[in-house]
Structure 1
Amino acid sequence: MASTTKPTIVLVHGAWHGSWCWKFLIPALEDLGYAVETVDLPCVSGVAGTTQFDDAAHVRSVVESQISMGKRVVVLAHSYGGPIASAAIRGLSEKGVLGMIALCAYIFPGGMDQAAVIRDLGGLPFVTWDAPSEGLLLAKDPRSLFFPPDVPEDRIDWAVSQLRPQSMAANMGIVPPQAWQDDSYIGRLGYIRCTDDVIIPIAQQDSMVAEAGGKEKWVIRTLEGSSHSPFLSRPHDVAATVQDIVNDFETKL
């Protein structure tokens, strides 16, 4: 039976970003009656060597804190944050986590060696390695990667000024065990497709979802014409889509 109390939405940002990126989405979610919690991942703290395991542990601590207060949780994860959120909620499907929503996010299997995958791809042409110091990396041209075609110029200027170096170890390491690979979350996994995403093209989004179980596991919704950053360009559309998916999750209980 669906609960009459809306879950808390825990927001997990992507690489180079921080909790600042949700500035416009938070009030849109709150207008719909959701409480919101944010995290700042260790990978963007400027400390080289932080890994996905560090990031997942931090998110899990926030989720467990909410659960300890008797709150139910839905985790909304963007981009790099997808595997982080999925690792963080592992084993919590019957302990207070209603589900996870991936917003144009990566879906990787647990145990995947990202360094090996990157080597097989011949590197990542859109990043600068060991910058601004050893063990950190930067996006070469974030303006052309994260925001076209629909983020307003003034918001792009603001967002670019907020981006921070990312730990290379977080992008080159082993993916932690993933909750989406457990049957316990079937039907309580959501994916929001962004059709005009530059950094994770729609074909790649669809391929990852298909390989992760497709419609049998995931509640799939689409933001037509959206960039990689709909929380900046279309926060009210994102909030409404999150609510739609959460309502779907509730029917699976």
Structure 2
Amino acid sequence: MSSTSKPTIILVHGAFHGSWCWKFQIPALEALGFAVETVDLPCVSGTASTTQFDDAAHVRSVVESQISMGKRVVVLAHSYGGPIASAAITGLSGKDVLGMIALCAYIFPGGMDQGAAIRDIGGLPYVTWDAPSEGLFVTKDPGSLFFPPDTPADQIDWAVPQLRPQSMAANMGIVPPQAWEDDSYTGGLGYIRCTDDAIVPIEQQDGMLAGAGGQSKWVIRTLEGSGHSPYLSRPEEVAAAVKGIVDEFEKRL
């Protein structure tokens, strides 16, 4: 395939969400000439034992399917999906995986014990553990947690009923090996910062980026005033940021 052809964007959602959350983002990316594929992670399937390794394996299968058809890919991952996407592309060639872009997403080192980290900070007060059944958890007030300050009320009303319980084993488990830490990884790394994110505050985004190599390693774009759900509140701006990052990836080839 010609390197001038736009890569396929594989969209990886965050915890509690599903591929439905990209409804408004997909046409914004397609309008810029990108083909788009989505995934539904096992962590929201209602199976309590699902881990990050299961989620990463599922994303990798989609990535490899696209590669087998001769397509280049970029993985765009939101929130919890950051470490999942990074794990999914570990060991894959940069000529096939042009890069990954984290959208206000976590950057965690491989081998990190997330359960220990959550216990060290005293837990997550905004969630209810073992609900609606053992091994799953939900957020107490998702409408006020995920979407302010810039998601319109009608979109919040549309999104909240579609949220699903998340596997505790996924969020309390071990982070798989990460592509961004792998010296053999030759694809690009991008990050879209969201300055008004209540879930992953901008200070945390910047701290994770600094610990992962910062501007020397990541192509960074910023959405000023954006909360945690810019794929709903400002999909055209996300698409423009993605295009800008992908263009930078292409220059490195």
Q: How many residues align?
A: 252
Aligned partners of 1:187 and 1:217 also within 8 Å: no
Structure-1 separation of matches of 2:172 and 2:214:
26
SS in 2 for 1:183: coil
Structure-2 separation of matches of 1:126 and 1:185:
36
Aligned residue for 2:35? 35
Q: Which amino acid aligns with 1:106?
A: Y
TM-score by length of structure 2 reads: 0.98
Q: 1:93: how far off?
A: 2.9
Structure-1 separation of matches of 2:221 and 2:183:
21
Equivalence map 1:163-178=2 (5 Å)? 163-178=163-178
Q: Cα deviation per residue 1:131-150 (whole Å; 9 max; x = unaligned)?
A: 00000000111111110010
Structure-1 separation of matches of 2:120 and 2:176:
20
Q: 1:94: how far off?
A: 3.4
Aligned residue for 2:148? 148
Equivalence map 1:61-100=2 (5 Å)? 61-94=61-94, 96-100=96-100
Structure-1 separation of matches of 2:101 and 2:115:
26
Equivalence map 1:1-253=2 (5 Å)? 3-94=3-94, 96-185=96-185, 188-253=188-253
Structure-2 separation of matches of 1:95 and 1:210:
26
Structure-1 separation of matches of 2:80 and 2:249:
23
Q: 1:217: how far off?
A: 0.7
Give 5+ residue unaligned stretches, structure 2: none
> Measured at CA, do residues 95 and 186 of structure 1 come closer, stay the same or move farther in structure 2, by a change above 3 Å?
closer
Q: Cα deviation per residue 1:6-51 (whole Å; 9 max; x = unaligned)?
A: 0000000000000000000000100111000000000000111100
Aligned partners of 1:187 and 1:218 also within 8 Å: no
TM-score by length of structure 1 reads: 0.98
Aligned partners of 1:73 and 1:98 also within 8 Å: yes
Structure-2 separation of matches of 1:179 and 1:141:
34
